[in-house]
Amino acid sequence: MKIKLRDIAHGRSGDKGDAANIGIIAYDDRGYEIIEKHLTAEKVKKHFDGICRGKVERYELPNLRALNFLLHNTLGGGGTVSLKFDAQGKTLAAALLRMEIEIEN
Amino acid sequence: MKDKIRIASGQGFWGDLIEAPYYQVTRGEIDYLVMDYLAEVTMSILQKQKNKNPNLGYARDIPELMERILPIIKEKNIKVITNGGGVNPVACAEAVVDVAQKLGIEKLKIAVVVGDNILERIDEFLESGIELNHMETGESIVKIKERVLSANVYFGAFPIVEALQKGADIVITGRTTDTGLTLAPMIHEFGWDINDYNKLSAGTVAGHILECGAQATGGNFLGDWESIENFAEVGFPIAEAYPNGEVIITKHESLGGKVTFETIAEQLLYEIGDPKNYITPDCVADFASIKLEDLGNNRVKVFDVKGEKETEFYKVSVSYADGCSAVGSLTYSWPQALTKAKAADRILRKRLENLNLQFDEIRTDYIGYNATHESLAKEINEDDINEIMMRIAVRSHDKKSIERFGREIAPLILTGPPSVTGFAGGRPKPSKVVAYWPALIPKSLVHPEVKILEWK
């Protein structure tokens, strides 16, 4: 069964130099089980193919039902140097929520 | 000792909602008003202003705000803590003194924290073998030394604690961590031990929640954002802190916004790296340890926060000049809006190439199509698109190339694809690019100093 990430989670993103961080928070415990299992660093890297040019690191915050992703080399040089329209990665959390996840029924 | 204190966030950045601090001091009871004004880019702008006029270099919103709130904070005994002193906290404090005198306010103690500005000390450090290498690339600062615009150390909560212990009503600092502004009154009021890292981390977490203003109370909330009421008068967050390190995040009842598990969780994840190592000058907080309990009625308890001893370094933020950039845009209407915009981009790039201009980077985005989500944007049916804005940005170390680029946008209106408009702003002008050089410096080399300004 395919589910939309945006149906089970919300999030926020921002900049850390040339890296972007994306925090994804599940709405409930079942949602956290799903993202904890399926929303891997590899999948996020693949999702942002061509946008994230460095590695993706994943950190877990189970108390908050949340995962934090650091996407290195993503913001076109970062903050004030970047020519990107969204130079601070503010819309990247929404971009990650576009993902669909295949889960067992 | 007080059994609790209420610390209110008044600004999340310089340029934030001007009414917010006024609401915080008038719509309910608070003990402290904390205001973060400094982003990295702000420091270089302020340094530039100070270079032109030695009496400037701070957030000039502060005297204007003080004129409105000084009588109120004096009457209610609310203390104000801000890092809006920028690169000239003394001048900022003197401007506030002027306001107070003008209003006839007596017996006000203003403290200033200085010592964070190390712009004049870089050579001294280099000579003594402190290399200020780039934290990520490891390169030596010598490479950019001649182009440095500003250089500041991030101080933490303790200089502010010293100021409060000296009886300050208002504390104005230069580069202080956003979290230190909120942590300091807790240490001061509750007498927390300098080695009680769990409590220092609890206060740091509260500071992280407060530092971006309404981002904790429903602003920029990607959850059920349509459920947020009264954005027009959004309440900024208030940390109700207790001596045991527990903090309840809330807001004034009569203001808009929302404080829930979800709004707080989003802010906790904002701009963090490894959650187990949230490093400040005061402690290393473990964000994975944080527990939240939604108490209802816009109250969320933050508790059980753990943390470790601080590191032996201060973070240094150096800004330096790194060439110029310019951005131009034109808007194309239906039909074939995207096809026209893409054609215009090709024509423009060919002209720039023919002119043999030198650019480090040229980047085109199509606003209305893929400017935010890039390759993740869905393909669009051009028949359904009313208009597309072509935005083209260039960066170069050759200012002449940037200037010429600025003169190549308008000609596209008569020499390119049709149904084009949106050139009212004039030629794109070169703006200076300011880049950042993060580094570390041993704490033993830089010392904060607290000065008190007092008058009768």
pLDDT at B285 over 90: yes
- Chain A closest-CA separation from residue B208 CA (Å): 14
Identify the residue whose tokens are 């009421």. Answer: B229
pLDDT at A89 over 90: yes
Look at A53-57, A78-82, B177-181, B199-203 and tell me which has the smallest mean pLDDT: A78-82
Q: For residue A40, what are its two tokens?
A: 């891997």
CB distance from A74 to chain B under 8 Å?
no
ipTM: 0.98
| Fold that domain B321-437 belongs to in CATH | Alpha-Beta Plaits (3.30.70)
Mean pLDDT value across residues B98-108? 93
Mean pLDDT value across residues B133-139? 91
pLDDT at B58 over 70: yes
Mean pLDDT value across residues B92-116? 95
Question: Closest partner residue to B374 among A51, A66, A94, by Cβ?
Answer: A51
pLDDT at B24 over 90: yes
pLDDT of residue B455: 66
DSSP one-letter string for B34-60: EE----HHHHHHHHHHHHH-TT--S-T
pLDDT of residue B223: 97
Binned at pLDDT 50, 70 and 90, residue B136 comes out as: confident
Q: Which residues of A touch B271 (CB under 8 A)?
A: 14-16, 21
pLDDT at B97 over 80: yes
Question: Closest partner residue to A10 among B262, B276, B365, by Cβ?
Answer: B262
Sheet with strand B32-35: strands edge to edge = B291-296, B299-303, B247-250, B238-241, B5-11, B32-35, B79-82, B170-173, B109-114, B449-454
pLDDT of residue B425: 76
In chain B, the percentage of residues whose pLDDT exceeds 70 is 100
Q: Which amino acid is present at B134?
A: H
Identify the burial level of B329 via C-beta atoms within 10 angstroms of its C-beta, where 0-12 means exposed, 13-18 middle and 19 or more buried. middle
pLDDT of residue B366: 97
8 Å CB contact of B269 and A66: yes
What separation in angstroms does the CA of A16 have from each of A21, A87, B246?
Answer: 7, 11, 28
8 Å CB contact of A60 and B289: no
Identify the residue whose tokens are 């027009």. Answer: B232
C-alpha–C-alpha distance, residues B454 and B94, integer Å: 10
pLDDT of residue A101: 96
pLDDT of residue B120: 94
CB distance from B345 to chain A under 8 Å?
no
| Contact yes or no for B263/B223 (Cβ under 8 A) | yes
Question: Closest partner residue to A11 among B222, B287, B361, by Cβ?
Answer: B222
> What 3-state DSSP class applies to B316?
strand
A-to-B residue pairs, Cβ atoms closer than 8 angstroms: 129
pLDDT of residue B424: 73
Which tens digits make up the pLDDT trace of B407-444?
A: 999 999 999 999 999 987 789 999 999 899 999 999 99
pLDDT of residue A36: 98
CB distance from B272 to chain A under 8 Å?
yes
Q: Which residue of B has its CA nearest to A99?
A: B376
The domain locations on chain B are: 5-116+154-311, 321-437
Q: Which residue of B has its CA nearest to A62?
A: B288
CB distance from A98 to chain B under 8 Å?
yes
C-alpha–C-alpha distance, residues A43 and A22, integer Å: 14
pLDDT of residue B42: 87
Length of chain A: 105
Mean pLDDT value across residues B256-282? 98
Question: Closest partner residue to B391 among A79, A85, A94, by Cβ?
Answer: A85
* Average model confidence (pLDDT) across chain B: 96
Which tens digits make up the pLDDT trace of B358-370?
A: 999 999 999 999 9
Q: What b/e sequence results for A24-44 when a residue is b if at least 16 CB atoms lie within 10 Å of its CB, and e otherwise? A: bbbbeeebbebbbeebebeeb
C-alpha–C-alpha distance, residues B431 and B323, integer Å: 9
Binned at pLDDT 50, 70 and 90, residue B456 comes out as: low
Residue B83 CB: number of other CB atoms within 10 A? 31
Residues within 8 A of A (CB atoms), B 173-202 only? none
C-alpha–C-alpha distance, residues B332 and B318, integer Å: 41
In chain B, the percentage of residues whose pLDDT exceeds 90 is 93
